[in-house]
A and B are shown apart, each in its own frame.
Chain A
């Protein structure tokens, strides 16, 4: 670490989080890109929790309802996310089923936990490693979009496997809930103001310096 870093707020400045232009504190909108300027987004956590909650709520029906409806010559089969993976497992396709469980269960649940952890750590003014939390945030933000892969797989399968009587795959209602859950989780992560993580460090160092 390169010693004590001054923040814009301490220097009486406010920066635009979109175009990074620097303005004197109290400026309301960025004159370059037009974004509303706030030194710290106080309402950020409210929005994070609101989107987070809707995201979690959508994730429940996404797991209860069928994701895919597979119709073959004699049978019609409805499979949920976990059901489908377990079925693949019993057929011996261990690799694919583990990938599905990882992508559709471990990653979404991990994201919910990570966002909740970040929000709570900021609310409690935790001094847990700032770098780790910043990286956690970046990973969550980066991975968030990739959960849509499930929806795209369903889209490809159900448009491609339309072979008259032999086999046909239809999307189930869970795909809609899953997509909504991904979108809401992305919005939740985007609402988080990461500067709040680092403020505690500034405060702690400031006290150490004074006392």
Chain B
């Protein structure tokens, strides 16, 4: 198709994606961080056994998401009337007319996007950690996982719960179902999984895929 030679990548410099500053690449040892001197963006943040930790955390997240979605989440009691809801009920609260759009996106933001991101990173990282060839489509998978990062809002939903509780404790008795605790654990794990991951190292390990 194209007769020109493909451009050769440069391996010695590293460039800050936020301010375009160039540095000579020197891999930090585990636990250290390479940070841009000009705008302080972290560039490389390796950790010991990060891959294995991320996989363990990811598996726990998958189990918790499924369980937390199905079990009752919060129960409200007032004047003898009781109502229990699951996270799915909360997400689907916007049910009439145009608001159904909002229902579907809420469900996506708090359940499906976090779940999908975890599954994608498992798909990408398991072969890497086992020292195998990266799985087919790993790069597309990791790309999608990264693009979805800002849209994974489980932790925001958790804080939203706290705010909602403050608002209605005067009105009625509210008690927590099992899913509430699962969801709290989930939030901690999702945040941990994100901070363990060194993007630079993952991309580096996906390099061997083509050719």
Contact = CB atoms under 8 A, between A and B. Distances in A.
Given A155-B94, A157-B168, A161-B172, A18 B110 contact: no
Nearest to A189: B150
Nearest to A134: B39
25 contacts: A5-B22, A13-B10, A15-B17, A20-B199, A22-B9, A23-B9, A23-B10, A24-B7, A34-B139, A34-B140, A99-B163, A134-B39, A141-B150, A145-B150, A146-B156, A146-B159, A148-B109, A149-B156, A155-B91, A156-B164, A160-B74, A163-B79, A171-B94, A179-B105, A195-B20
A147 to B, nearest CB: 9
Interface string B26-59: 0000000000011110010000000000000000
Interface in B95-153: 98-99, 101-102, 105-106, 109-110, 139-140, 142-143, 146, 150-151, 153
Contact of A156 (B90, B142, B150, B207): B90
Interface string B66-83: 000000001010110101
Contacts of A146: 156, 159
Interface stretch (A25-33, A50-58, A106-114, A116-124): A25-33
Contacts of A173: 98-99
B9 to A, nearest CB: 6
A7 interface: yes
B14 to A, nearest CB: 6
B160 A152 contact: yes
Given A149-B159, A149-B160, A20 B15 contact: yes
A96 interface: yes
Contacts of B90: 152, 155-156, 159-160
B203 A32 contact: yes
Given A145-B153, A160-B76, A20 B17 contact: yes
Contacts of B7: 23-24, 26-27, 31
Contacts of A210: none
A7 B22 contact: yes
Interface residues of B, number: 68
Interface residue SS majority, chain A: mixed
Interface string A6-42: 1111010101111111111011000111110001000
Contact of A33 (B22, B83, B143, B156): B143
A186 B38 contact: no
A197 interface: yes
Contacts of B102: 151, 171, 175-176, 179
Nearest to B86: A159
Contact of A149 (B6, B8, B105, B163): B163
B150 A186 contact: yes
A129 to B, nearest CB: 12
Contacts of B94: 155, 158, 171, 175-176
Given A5-B38, A19-B203, A34-B139, A13 B15 contact: yes
A20 B203 contact: yes
B172 A163 contact: yes
A31 B9 contact: yes
B22 to A, nearest CB: 5
Given A22-B13, A149-B156, A194 B92 contact: no
B150 A195 contact: no
Nearest to A70: B171
A155 B167 CA distance: 13
A8 B22 contact: yes
